[in-house]
Amino acid sequence: MDENSRVSSLPCDDCSREDRKALLLRIGALAREYRGREGSLIQVLHLAQGIYGYLPLEVQRVIADGLELPLAEVSGVVSFYSFFSTQRRGRHTIRVCLGTACYVRGGKRIVERLRELLGVSVGETTADGLFTLEVARCIGACGLAPAMSIDDTVYKRVSPDNLEHILAQYTPGKEGEAV
């Protein structure tokens, strides 16, 4: 991804109307660059999500127009793949594994405790925009279940008791300050 495709750290919900319009124009130009290239839709969606922060219907419409594809095709791909989001996302994404090993070893308790600590349900973002809570079917740490990830960091043998310590590493002004 080139420098022009990088996004500010703020979700576009915090953008001014002019900033949103500029981002949509940038996404439209990007989509037109990929027009006619076989299999480019997923790549364009990834780039657009990086630019805008998520893929609401207005962004999907710009991509569909730029690639000359039906909006239904674009929306179908967005809704099929879990790494695309149609809702504003937090600065950090928490994914709790609920695959068989993690579920049996307490994954559901991890989700319940995170819901309490963050004040959100699965699929929601905290009011401060810091965390989005999701579940995953497997994150590849079955032998060290239950597991969860925050962004690209996997936490193994997680218990409800150590969640506050883990979250503090991502909270401004708290230990670690990995924000």
Q: Which two tokens stand for residue 115?
A: 């819901």
Q: How many domains does the chain have?
A: 2
Residues in the chain: 179
pLDDT value, residue 19: 86
Mean of the pLDDT values across residues 26-42?
95
> pTM of the prediction?
0.66
Q: How far apart are CA 33 and CA 47, in angstroms?
A: 12
Q: How far apart are CA 44 and CA 67, in angstroms?
A: 9
My answer on whether 107 and 164 are in the same domain is yes
Which residue segment(s) compose the domain that 75 sits in?
Answer: 3-80
Q: Which two tokens stand for residue 101?
A: 């090993």
Question: Which of 162, 171, 165, 150 minimizes the C-alpha distance to 94?
Answer: 150
My answer on whether 68 and 26 are in the same domain is yes
My answer on whether 108 and 48 are in the same domain is no
My answer on whether 11 and 76 are in the same domain is yes
- CATH number of 146's domain: 3.40.30.10
pLDDT value, residue 116: 97
Query: In 10 A of CB 166, how many CB atoms?
Result: 16
Q: 131 in a domain, yes or no?
A: yes
Q: Which two tokens stand for residue 72?
A: 């239904």
Burial (CB count <10 Å: 0-12, 13-18, 19+), residue 169:
middle
Look at 131 and 88; give whichever has higher pLDDT: 131
